[in-house]
Chains A and B, each alone.
Chain A
Amino acid sequence: MYYAIVFLPLAGALIAGFFGRLIGARASEVITSAFLVLAAVLSWLAFFQVGLGGQDARIEIFRWVTSGELQVSWALRIDTLTAVMLVVVNSISSLVHIYSIGYMSHDPHRPRFFAYLSLFTFAMLMLVTSDNFLQMFFGWEGVGLMSYLLIGFWYQKPEANAAAIKAFVVNRVGDFGFALGIFAIFYIFGAIQFDTVFAAAPDQVGKTFKFLNWEVDVLTAICLLLFMGAMGKSAQFLLHTWLPDAMEGPTPVSALIHAATMVTAGVFMVARLSPLFEFSPTALGVVTFVGATTAFFAATVGLVQNDIKRVVAYSTCSQLGYMFVAIGVGAYAAGIFHLFTHAFFKALLFLGSGSVIHALHDEQDMRHMGGLRKVLPYTWIAMLVGTLALTGFPFLAGYYSKDAIIEAAFVAQSGVSSYAFVLTVFAALLTSFYSWRLMFMTFHGKNRSEPEVFKKAHESPLIILIPLALLVVGSICAGFLFKDMFIDKGYEAFWRTSLFTLPSNNIIHDLHDVPDMVKFSPAIMMATGFLVALLFYKITPAAPANLADAFRPIYLFLLNKWYFDELYDAIFTKPAMRIGRFLWKKGDGATIDGLGPDGVATRVLDVTRGMIRLQSGYVYHYAFAMLIGVALLATYFMFAPGASQ
């Protein structure tokens, strides 16, 4: 069964990729989608088997690398954490596949698109089923590559290419840390199997190594390096810049990769490595701090964005911050629970946005939307459910998971967790505001789009609506159905050993006993956000513009995403370009080529020209040359020392 789950997407990708032209676009779509649906159904089976039945498994496929101490196998590690990820990845992926059949119906390169989607899914599955760091890195890079290919899927668009490259390069920065972390693990532990490393981790507590005359705690250093990789992949503060730009890719890609699955890989990785992180409070503090900052930062930027997909993208970034907060304070289960629910409602929001964009013929600017509720009733319902779930409306998915995170941050009671608590609560307000802003600008009020476009706008076909409907169900039910298992009474039985917590860590139990004020704070924030949005965009539509004018610097600061792109451009990109240009023009062109090949070639031509000029055609010149030659030789023998005795 696990073989089928992991390798069906690969098979689909190979078929669509290599034989797409042969079998046609329709067949490619059907085959890849059918394989994914099958894999999704099997994943749910596995979920119940592992999560409820407790049947963990480890399946060795084959030996991969045997080199000295380094022994690596391809193996599937199936425990509850993996099973949860399998469900998330395969469910969302299969829905996105089906959705794409409708969404991409006018694209001429559909086989390639579906091959990429399936191959991405395979890489993601490799990542979540990995049994060792190397295999995880393989999946990690695989999803990065497919993300690059899918962002740049419309390679005719320069922005798409730029965004693809940006995503790849920023992720490289994170991967650099990840790779160093893996090297460090091999150096310290002499192995890269999870089980071996986890078993040896307690012995390394408090040990240090010397780096540049500086005592560094071993586990903290490893964890921080690994977290650097997670920051890149999960678009956390400072390494987040690629995610909004990644929206240049097709919308189904945004839903699958840049909302539900790949970006959560960082969260998954830290959760998977909880046996390491648990022993490094410093690293966990950093995780909390970065997560809280991201949650707040991304939410503020989301307030003022006008591109519908970018709003959702910043929302994703913000929600990922929440997950890291949960993990940072030790509530791994809460983080994974949020990952699980978030996958449904964020995919729903993206696919709903896609439906809007599809209806308006690729219009993404919310300023050119409005009043679409009547035209797109089903999409409106879907988006409404998604928004409610995201903002944490009671009994919907986000309500359980997000509140759990905020409560966990409150319970943790350390300096950094207080910081996280304040920021996450405030971010909940912002989340509510920007989500409702999106809803009001898109679906309510007067139509602001071109009348022509508006007239032609129509509800999406069934093949797009069905995935939306299923996600609506998921967004409503994922919370209360699984709450018990993930973070409540069924916690121990469900997770067993897949998440490691120190005996002193009882946060999951404690978070249920928090003051009522804390319990209600997210709901209050949500309501406030809703009311403000209602006021701004329904009742007094002039208010946002006035406010923006009144606080112009702040507005511009947010609109320009805290000027991160400009900052990076000035600090890294421009100097790198300058160095590159210098090395190219001056180093390679002028010095190496100039003194080397080009210079020599030019001198050769000069010499040639001179020699040809000697060949004047006059006999007396020729005779003169002969006489000069003889004279030179004779003179040489007359005066050269030792030339003759």
Chain B
Amino acid sequence: MKEAATTSPFLTYILALPEILLVVGAMILLMVGAFRGERSANAISWAAVVLLLLAAVFVLLLPAKGKVLFDGAFIVDSFGRFMKVLTLIGSAAAIVMSFDYMRRARLEKFEYPILILLATAGMMMMISANDLIALYLGLEVQSLALYVIAAFRTDSVRSSEAGLKYFVLGALSSGMLLYGCSLIYGFTGTTGFPGIAAAATLGQTNLGLIFGLVFFLAGLAFKVSAVPFHMWTPDVYEGAPTPVTAFFAAAPKVAAMAMFLRAVLSAFPEITPQWQQIVVFISIASMILGAFAAIGQTDIKRLMAYSSIGHMGFALVGLAAGNAAGAQAVIIYLTIYLVMNLGVFACILSMRRSDGMVEDIDELAGLSRNNPMMAFLLAMLLFSLAGIPPLAGFFAKFYVFLAAINAGLYTLAVIGVLSSVVGAYYYLRIVKIMYFDEPAEEFEAMPGKLQAILGVSGALVTLYFFYPAPLVSAASAAAKSLF
């Protein structure tokens, strides 16, 4: 439990400055866009990137010590700091990656960066939420923006379908979440996490509270697209415009997982055995489904959807451990996952020929001869996603499995390792297609922004093992603040 003193109003707003910055900035940019029209889209996008990075700087300047604001609804601590920076970087990178695509698709609308800003503000709320109501507010701010972004390509039926599906199912999951929250409130008498933690102790738990927990976790699992609440993911990933998919796969996943972590660890520490069973179940289901279902995919975006389902399963392995080491492992996992995904999507966004984007895996055939650098970096990223040493993805998996083993969750760890073996197949298949198949037609040259992102991501993934200490220690500090 946190011992956080209430703060003066002025300090409160200072501590919430990153969120305020984003929201106010989004309003201003909206005004600018509304008055200047479509021409300003490019400038607004850059402004949004700057705003996100500025917010990240502010977040870093905040004190590391835990502070509770707004009557306990909002918490600022080093866990939040870490995850917020990660989310902000993910959002900024998503905007940077979208420029070229949007221009070619004639989608240069100023609403896009603004929606991302708003979604990101929602994510920051989610990360810092220390109360069921604050959590729900952040979640809805984020989700509403995401529904719109998914359907952003209004002239495409598939994009609209993706947005609609996401919205309908998202509404359902919000309903479950709310129902769970109301049950929890009903049985504990409070919405604040510390209060719930005090009330929900082992001796006094009853089935009502557990039911509430089940519904609550179902809602959270939907956001991290864990099985069986994942069904929207492949369709939305495939239908949404590719930069949107890239965004979906990165920042919102990190934020949702951070929210998941904080909610279960700080609101239900006393009934860990209960939520642990749920987490183990959805973790196993996600890992297995992610590994098996991806094998049959031919569309690379769909494949990445299943990949992200699987990876969320692996991250949940760390959470299932239910201790600081597990939380630290999850934080590291999410960081590396974000980096890998941004790099892979930079490659997917470069799969363009003169007649438009292609998404079929076979189109990558012979990439090693047409574009050896891109093929090499993509191969490294895929090896890393598969968890092959000495790449970063291996360490990510290593930490979560280690945490699970130390917590005595042997079955979970073994199933995880086995499913990562199955999962390795589809990553390696792409590498095989790139290196050993007869070359397909060449892609257009890779835009500079994508090159930069791919380069940074590839370098981080390949060279991580030289100097893992900064990430490990930062994650350790962040994890400690949850306990």
A interface residues (Cβ-Cβ under 8 A, vs B): 604-605, 607-609, 611-612, 615, 617, 619, 621-623, 625-626, 628-630, 633-634, 636-638, 643-645
Q: Is the CB of B235 within 8 A of A633?
A: no
B274 at the interface (CB under 8 A from A): yes
Q: Is B203 an interface residue (CB 8 A)?
A: yes
B47 lies within 8 A of chain A by Cβ: no
Q: Which of A605, A611, A636, A638 contacts B289 (CB 8 A)?
A: A611
**For B222, what are the chain A residues with a Cβ–Cβ distance below 8 Å?**
626
With a cutoff of 8 Å between Cβ atoms, the chain B residues found around residue A615 in the complex are 231, 234-235, 293
Residue from B202, B214, B297 in contact with A634 in the complex, judged by beta carbons closer than 8 Å: B214
Chain B residues in 8 Å Cβ range of A629: 218, 227-229, 282
Would A619 and B168 be within 8 Å (CB), given that A625-B228, A630-B215 are in contact? yes
Residues of A with C-beta under 8 A to B292: 604, 607-608, 611
Q: Say whether A633 contacts B281, CB under 8 Å.
A: yes
Q: Which residues of B contact A644 (CB under 8 A)?
A: 205-207, 210, 274
CA distance A23 to B297 in the complex (A): 58
B231 & A622 in contact (Cβ 8 Å cutoff): yes
Complex CA gap A615/B274 in Å reads 30
Q: A636 to chain B: which residues have CB within 8 Å? A: 277
A612 touches B274 (CB 8 A): no
Q: Which residues of B contact A633 (CB under 8 A)?
A: 214, 217-218, 278, 281
Do B165 and A619 have beta carbons less than 8 Å apart?
Answer: yes
For B165, list chain A residues within 8 Å (CB).
619, 622
Q: Which residue of B lies closest to A612 (CB)?
A: B296
The answer for the CA separation of A533 and B229 in the assembled complex, in Å, is 98
Task: List, in ascending order, chain A residues with CB within 8 A of B415's CB.
Answer: none
Shortest Cβ distance from B80 into chain A, in angstroms? 29
Chain B, interface SS category: helix
> Are A626 and B229 touching (Cβ within 8 A)?
yes
Check A637 against B274 for contact (C-beta < 8 Å): yes
> A616 → chain B, closest Cβ, in Å?
9
Contact A626 B211 (CB under 8 A): no
Smallest CB–CB gap between A6 and chain B, Å? 50
Q: Complex: how many Å from CA A332 to CA B98?
A: 95
B169 and A608 within 8 A (CB): no
User: With A607-B292, A615-B234, A623-B172 known to touch, is A638 a contact of B229 (CB < 8 Å)?
Assistant: no
Could you show 27 A-B contacts with beta carbons less than 8 Å apart? A611-B289, A611-B292, A611-B296, A612-B293, A615-B231, A619-B168, A619-B169, A622-B231, A622-B232, A625-B229, A626-B172, A626-B173, A626-B176, A626-B228, A626-B229, A628-B228, A629-B228, A630-B214, A630-B215, A633-B218, A634-B214, A636-B277, A637-B211, A637-B214, A637-B274, A645-B202, A645-B206
A636 to B275, CA, bound (A): 12
**Chain B, range 204-243, C-beta contacts under 8 Å to A:** 205-207, 210-211, 214-215, 217-218, 222, 227-229, 231-232, 234-235
**CB-defined contacts of A604 to chain B, threshold 8 Å:** 292, 295, 422, 425
Cβ < 8 Å to A, chain B residues 156-211: 165, 168-169, 172-173, 176, 202-203, 205-207, 210-211
Smallest Cβ distance from B413 to chain A, in angstroms?
Answer: 20
- Tell me the bound Cα distance from A607 to B295 in angstroms: 10
Q: 12 other contacts beyond A611-B289, A637-B214, with CB at 8 A cut-off?
A: A623-B172, A625-B229, A626-B222, A628-B228, A629-B218, A629-B229, A630-B214, A633-B281, A634-B214, A637-B274, A643-B277, A645-B203
Which chain B positions have C-beta within 8 A of A617?
Answer: 235
Question: Please, which residues of chain B bring their CB within 8 A of the CB of A643?
Answer: 210, 274, 277
- Report the minimum CB–CB distance from A285 to chain B (whole Å): 65
User: Could you say which residues of chain A place their CB within 8 Å of the CB of B235?
Assistant: 615, 617
Query: Which residue on B lies nearest to A600, using beta carbons?
Result: B422
Alpha-carbon gap, A638 to B207, bound state (A): 7
What's the minimum C-beta distance from A602 to chain B, rounded to whole angstroms?
12
A645 to B278, CA, bound (A): 16
Min CB–CB distance B472 → chain A (angstroms): 34
Do A623 and B169 touch across chains, with their CB atoms under 8 A apart? yes
Q: Is there an interface contact between A626 and B169, defined as CB atoms closer than 8 Å?
A: yes
Q: Tell me, in angstroms, the Cα distance from A626 to B177 when the chains sit together.
A: 12
- CB-CB under 8 A from A621, the residues of chain B are 231
Which A residues touch B211, using CB under 8 A?
A: 634, 637
* Cα(A626)–Cα(B282), bound, Å: 12
Query: Which chain A residue has the least Cβ–Cβ distance from B229?
Result: A626
Are A622 and B169 touching (Cβ within 8 A)? Answer: yes
Nearest B-chain residue to A623, judged by Cβ: B172
Q: How far is the CB of B168 from chain A (nearest CB, A)?
A: 5
Residue of A nearest to B282 (CB): A629
- Min Cβ gap A141→B in Å is 41
Kindly list chain A residues whose C-beta atoms are within 8 Å of the C-beta of B289: 611
Report the minimal beta-carbon distance from A609 to chain B, rounded to whole angstroms: 7
Q: How far is the CB of A198 from chain B (nearest CB, A)?
A: 60
The 4 closest A-B pairs by CB, nearest first: A622-B231, A629-B228, A611-B293, A608-B296
Shortest beta-carbon distance from A605 to chain B in Å: 7
* Across-interface contacts of B234 in A (CB, < 8 A): 615
Residues of B within 8 A of A637 (CB): 207, 210-211, 214, 274
For A622, list chain B residues within 8 Å (CB): 165, 169, 231-232
Q: Which residue of A is nearest B221, CB measured? A: A629
In whole angstroms, how far apart are the Cα atoms of A621 and B207 in the complex?
Answer: 28
On chain A, the residues within 8 Å of B203 by CB distance are: 645
Q: Which residues of A contact B231 (CB under 8 A)?
A: 615, 621-622, 625-626
Per the bound structure, the CA–CA distance linking A622 and B228 in Å amounts to: 9
| Residues in chain A near residue B297, CB distance under 8 A | 612
* Chain A residue contacts of B229, Cβ below 8 A: 625-626, 629
CA distance A604 to B293 in the complex (A): 9
Query: In the complex, A255→B220 CA distance in Å?
Result: 88
Least CB separation from A631: chain B residue: B214
B274's closest neighbor in chain A, by CB? A644
Most B C-beta atoms less than 10 A away, residue of A633, A638, A645 = A633
Question: Which residues between 280 and 298 of chain B lie within 8 Å of chain A, taking CB atoms?
Answer: 281-282, 289, 292-293, 295-297
Q: Which of A605, A625, A638 has the largest count of B CB atoms less than 10 A from its CB? A: A625
Say how far B375's CB is from chain A's closest CB, in angstroms: 26
A300 to B218, CA, bound (A): 92
Is A605 touching B274 in the complex (CB atoms < 8 A)? no
> Could you tell me the distance between the alpha carbons of A226 and B228 in the complex, rounded to whole angstroms?
74
A625-B228, A626-B169 known; A645+B205 contact, CB < 8 A: yes
Q: Which of A607, A608, A625, A630 contacts B176 (CB 8 A)?
A: A630
A608's contact among B172, B228, B293, by CB below 8 Å, is which?
Answer: B293
Which A residues are in CB contact (< 8 Å) with B217? Answer: 633
CA distance A567 to B141 in the complex (A): 88
Complexed CA–CA distance, A609 and B289 (Å): 11
A645 to B271 CA separation, bound complex (whole angstroms) = 11
Report the separation of the CA atoms of residues A608 and B422 in the bound assembly, to the nearest whole angstrom: 11
The A-contacting residues of B in range 88-107, CB under 8 angstroms, are none
State in angstroms the CA–CA spacing of A621 and B235 once bound together. 13
Residue of B nearest to A645 (CB): B205
